[in-house]
Amino acid sequence: MKTIKINHLAIHVSDLNRSMDFYGGVLGLQEIEEPFHDGLHTWYEIGDGISLHLIEELELKVPADKSKTNHLCFSLKDLDAFIQKLRKINHLYGNWEGELGKINFRSDGIRQIFFQDPDGYWLEANDDF
């Protein structure tokens, strides 16, 4: 019997509107109701009842060299269309090794790319949909 599940992930962002443009506009996440209504929080549905919470913190310090090992991954139905979207807006992406514009292939054949959000957090997009 299942007794535990992930409820949400929360990340600090330095500019909520800029991050909303990225997570809502670029990634296409659906915004959901959030209880605070203070202008410092935005919540997105990320599947299976799990949400992503963006929390604005004006003095946020995210190291530019943050390891890709700590990342949030989204599986997409059409990875190629998403890559084209990133190219259209000139948003950098690459493989695990950091080669820009390259796609990583896992040993099981899943294709994946890595890119950063406006605050430097690493994200992965793959076609394991």
Please give the full DSSP string across 94-117, using - where no structure is assigned: B-TT--BTPPEE-TTS-EEEEEE-
Q: pTM of this prediction? A: 0.87
The per-residue pLDDT for range 1-21, each reduced to its tens digit, is: 778 888 999 999 999 999 999
Res 66 pLDDT > 80: no
Statement: 71-126 belongs to CATH 3.10.180.10: yes
Q: Which fold has domain 8-56?
A: 2,3-Dihydroxybiphenyl 1,2-Dioxygenase; domain 1 (3.10.180)
What is the 8-class DSSP label of residue 20?
A: H
Q: CA separation (Å) from 35 to 39, 42, 118?
A: 11, 9, 24
> Where in the chain are all domains bearing CATH 3.10.180.10?
8-56, 71-126
